[in-house]
Chain A
């Protein structure tokens, strides 16, 4: 077949169409968090916004891959990209991106919708850099059926006490998970470990996420925090080598060495933890709140959906602590349409928009009055808001430009200790030296 001029023209148009960026009608471009409930909720919310917005203010969404998202975003922003007007920002990366962003004034009503503590997750140097759209924290997931059976069985209680004495040096007794201390959780995890207690109905007592990954450090952090641990004291000295961190690092290692967590835990992150708990072979798991939907879904987790209980992370000597991590949208310094972008951000911070976002599947942390309006459709958001306001915390220095490298450093050093590659003292000394270097920048 010979190609005539028309065919050539068609082919050229097709190639140009694939090679060149799409010409959008919208004048506000938003770079969102791709995949998952965040994307679904943002799409639905933007659809509603575009119906009421003028042509000049209409919003177009842009998504790329989650893998390496923050690294790509950093490279784009450092290069002065104006391909998007609003971009994703997260609590622990605000300091990293703040130089390429502009603060925004969301108005007084924003505090009524989200509450001051949640607005703070999007602040850096006292300035508001974004609208908090989603909040992540951790739940302690546990098997209600196993705990109930344990509480009713005197012989099992005796074994539990013996195991607690042998491994933790304390004569503990089974308790309701909502009143667990970390020691209670550890004793329960050991009791339900086949390697420790051959009569355990499940293979593992818990699932520890120990892949060398910064997000796994976020999951771990609430443990030392509830023992009074922090990254720095009020004078700016790094305090990661505190007794709180030592105790908690040792507890994780004790559980891993005793076989309480799957053997491959050193390669586990979010997905692996979900799979392990959903298999019905683990009694507890400290996991992100986002997993609640899957772990309580009879379709996705038929083995455990009906018997999965959810409580806040256990208590330490300083009470309970839950690591909060917010996602939001903020203004790119090089935005082409700042006026339209700010208009959209202010709308997103209104009660109507926040409720719409929640009903569309997002996970905003809303103030008690506002969340009450969606409590029937989204009961998990009530728990999210409650845990965030009661136990939520951000480590000192954890919104600085070096926060993510600090998590990376801790992941490498702490997991090096858990895997037996270095001593606790070496791990803490390396972490302290590295943090001093990073946080002084």
Chain B
């Protein structure tokens, strides 16, 4: 006999489903209606249906595509950098951390800082007249690069994001690495495998699920980036550091183009859904 009957299961699930319908379903429906309406802040309660014009406007908007390209590049680059550095640190520091677990605390500290605060902090740190980095560069080399100008802003933002979130990847990888039974490594060592071969043929395959998950979590976080970029460079000179989230925020609040902003968010939702569904199916096929 099943531990929980079907009726009981439904009863237990009802509050959760109700919660999701109320707090996710309702805004989603309002979003869909707004996306095919002419609506302003004054007519929030009485939008006028106007067809797919908002979607056409979004898809024809060069800024939408450039912000999508920014988000994609930013997400891929930061996720790759964070995972590679995190993996290296996890394996490299594992012997030390197993003896001195207290060292984990300082390594995790960047995660405790709100991204908007990180943006503000680097505005100060990189400021030519107030920041320590340009100060020492001027002292030692007589010059300092413009970290946030049109040529370097993207690179600086990638480095700032990577510095903050590498500990997240590192934490996951260290846990996965620690969970690999020692006897497997010892056995391969007895069979003559070098340390590099052990990493390549034993550790990495066993850590693969964690590597994939960490990469996607970091990619999603990087793709939807808002706070630190907004605090550090805003949407950038000529919109050069406009991520998709910033694009939607600006269209909604700054331009008052509510229909366009919501249509962009629906497009983003559909694109994310297709990608995630595809990945899910891929994972399912591999298992099968």
Contacts and interface: CB of A to CB of B under 8 A. Distances in A.
Nearest to A216: B234
Q: Which of A211, A263, A422 has the most CB of B within 10 A?
A: A263
A213 B237 CA distance: 9
A74 B150 contact: no
Interface stretch (B29-37, B91-99, B185-193, B248-256): B248-256
A252 to B, nearest CB: 13
Contacts of B145: 263
A422 B238 contact: yes
Given A78-B42, A404-B254, A263 B237 contact: no
B253 A412 contact: no
Interface stretch (A275-283, A347-355, A373-381): A275-283
B224 interface: no
B273 to A, nearest CB: 27
Interface string B18-62: 000000000000000000000001101000000000000000000
A266 B148 contact: yes
Nearest to A72: B253
B234 A212 contact: yes
Contacts of B255: 405, 408
A281 B238 CA distance: 27
Interface of B is mostly: loop
B128 A416 contact: no
B234 A421 contact: no
B234 A279 contact: no
B219 to A, nearest CB: 26
A210 interface: yes
Contact of A279 (B129, B150, B254): B129
Nearest to A434: B255
A48 B233 CA distance: 42
B150 A421 contact: yes
B271 to A, nearest CB: 24
Contact of A419 (B126, B130, B240): B240
B144 to A, nearest CB: 8
B136 to A, nearest CB: 15
A213 B236 CA distance: 9
Contacts of A213: 234
B147 interface: yes
B130 A405 contact: no
A261 B129 CA distance: 12
A419 B41 contact: no
Nearest to B148: A267
A278 B130 CA distance: 10
Given A78-B41, A263-B149, A276 B254 contact: no
A408 B240 contact: no
A270 B256 CA distance: 25
B147 A264 contact: yes
Contacts of A210: 237
B236 A212 contact: yes
B159 interface: no
A192 interface: no
A427 B77 CA distance: 31
Contacts of A417: 238
B73 interface: no
Given A74-B253, A78-B42, A264 B237 contact: no
A422 B237 CA distance: 11
Contacts of B144: 263
A420 B254 CA distance: 24
A276 B128 contact: yes
B126 A412 contact: no
Given A78-B42, A263-B145, A420 B150 contact: yes
A275 B237 contact: no
Nearest to A421: B238
B147 to A, nearest CB: 7
Contacts of A413: 238
Interface in A245-304: 262-264, 266-267, 272, 275-276, 278-279, 281
Given A267-B153, A421-B238, A279 B250 contact: no
A421 B240 CA distance: 9
Given A74-B253, A212-B238, A264-B126, 19 more contacts: A71-B254, A77-B41, A78-B41, A210-B237, A211-B234, A212-B235, A262-B128, A263-B145, A266-B146, A267-B149, A267-B234, A272-B123, A272-B127, A276-B128, A408-B250, A412-B239, A416-B237, A416-B239, A419-B149
Interface of B: 41-42, 44, 123, 126-130, 144-150, 153, 232-240, 250, 253-256
**3 closest cross-chain pairs (CB), A and B:** A416-B238, A263-B146, A419-B237
23 contacts: A75-B41, A79-B44, A96-B256, A212-B233, A212-B237, A262-B129, A263-B128, A264-B126, A264-B149, A266-B148, A266-B149, A266-B237, A267-B149, A267-B153, A267-B232, A276-B128, A405-B256, A408-B254, A412-B238, A412-B239, A413-B238, A416-B237, A421-B240
